[in-house]
Amino acid sequence: MSNRISLTRYLVEQQRDHGHIPSQLRLLLEVVARACKSISQAVNKGALGGVLGSAGSENVQGEVQKKLDIIANEVLIEANEWGGHLAAMASEEMDGIYVVPNRYPQGEYLLLFDPLDGSSNIDVNVSIGTIFSVLKKPEGSSGVDEKDFLQPGSQQVAAGYCVYGPQTTLVLTVGDGVAMFTLDREQGSFVLTQENVRIPEDTKEFAINMSNMRHWDAPVKRYIDECLAGKDGPRGKDFNMRWIASMVADVHRILTRGGIFMYPWDKREPEKAGKLRLMYEANPMAMLVEQAGGAATNARQRILDLQPTKLHERVSVVLGSKNEVERVTAYHLQG
């Protein structure tokens, strides 16, 4: 037991040995982890805690909010607003940014989150999660506004998610590889359970919502057709499929055993670049995946290079095992 490394110790040692984590950032990440613990408690109580079902409201994107979407959003804001490490926050569940109130000191970081990802899985007891991304407020800007958030994902100083599944696991990068921490409920702390997470470059497993097949673009159809053709097709191997409909859970599987995840643009709503959100979902997941040796594109370009033009921007997402992501991207660039 004595060689167990807590999240706190991991962060302190990263700071001491590699100088990666300024103390304000360490504080921020610890507070986010604490908020995730509290969300995990609420998720676990389920019907007993009265947290299931719809809240009867819609978010800025016109999606029906679940009670847990709102609870998780509030937990993250309340936990983070007073510590002095943040200037402002932005969330998938809020129309505009949330500036740290005047009564608290303002820090130099910006926190973005999808408080409860995979909302359609809440009531059916399937894994869900919280995704977060940390940026630095641009130097020289006094005050803070929405445009301070519009930085490419390559500027993230930290990113991660917490998956609420059979175990609650926090997955984190501060730009020096990916580490996983499992929540020890008896001790109430996150314990390091895997360091230097690596995604295999090749895979035989893909994740996509197949019910959208008729709406796909030709290169996506080509890639999936080739996977489905298995041993007898051009790929010469059989593929397996998974689709959890919680990006956190699908990405967690990919970080654990490889695979490719796709939520591409499709013809259902052609004016939208995709379903998933660039700032709250794609950027943090792309940073984690790249830090683990994988790749992440919008089917044409590296996600982390995209310049956001608005907070709630959507994007097409292809991420996971490097060689497969490069193949899908090449099919798009050829076509």
For residue 263, the number of C-alpha atoms closer than 13 Å in the C-beta half-sphere is 21
Beta bridge partners of 179: 172
Residue 69 engages Mg ion in binding (rule: CB under 5 A): no
| Closest separation in Å from C-beta 197 to Mg ion | 21
Q: CB nearer to ligand AHM: give 227 or 285.
A: 285
Residue 290 engages Mg ion in binding (rule: CB under 5 A): no
Q: CB nearer to ligand AHM: give 81 or 117.
A: 117
263 binds, among ligand AHM, Mg ion, none (CB under 5 to 8 A by kind): ligand AHM
125 binds, among Mg ion, ligand AHM, none (CB under 5 to 8 A by kind): none
Q: CB nearer to Mg ion: give 122 or 158.
A: 122
| Closest separation in Å from C-beta 9 to ligand AHM | 31
DSSP string, 188-242: TEEEEEE-S----S--SEEE--GGGGGGB-HHHHHHHHHHHTGGGSTT-S--EE-
- CB distance 51 to 71 below 8 Å: yes
Which residues are near ligand AHM by CB under 6 A? 63, 92, 114, 117-120, 209, 245-247, 263, 275
Q: Which stretch binds Mg ion (CB under 5 A): 109-117, 221-229, 294-302, 323-331?
A: 109-117
| Closest separation in Å from C-beta 281 to ligand AHM | 7
| Closest separation in Å from C-beta 131 to Mg ion | 7
- CB distance 150 to 310 below 8 Å: yes
| Closest separation in Å from C-beta 284 to Mg ion | 11
The residue at minimum Cβ distance from ligand AHM is: 247
B/e letters for 108-144, b = 16+ CB within 10 Å, e = fewer, are: bbbbbbbbbbbbebbbeeebbbbbbbbbbbeeeeeeb
301 binds, among ligand AHM, Mg ion, none (CB under 5 to 8 A by kind): none
Using CA atoms of 270, 249, 306, 210 in order, give the dihedral in degrees to the nearest 10.
-30
B/e letters for 306-323, b = 16+ CB within 10 Å, e = fewer, are: bebeebbbbbbbbbbbbe
119 binds, among ligand AHM, Mg ion, none (CB under 5 to 8 A by kind): ligand AHM
For residue 255, the number of C-alpha atoms closer than 13 Å in the C-beta half-sphere is 30
Residue 313 engages Mg ion in binding (rule: CB under 5 A): no
DSSP helix/strand/coil, 252: helix
| Closest separation in Å from C-beta 181 to ligand AHM | 21
Binding positions for Mg ion, rule: CB under 5 A: 114, 117
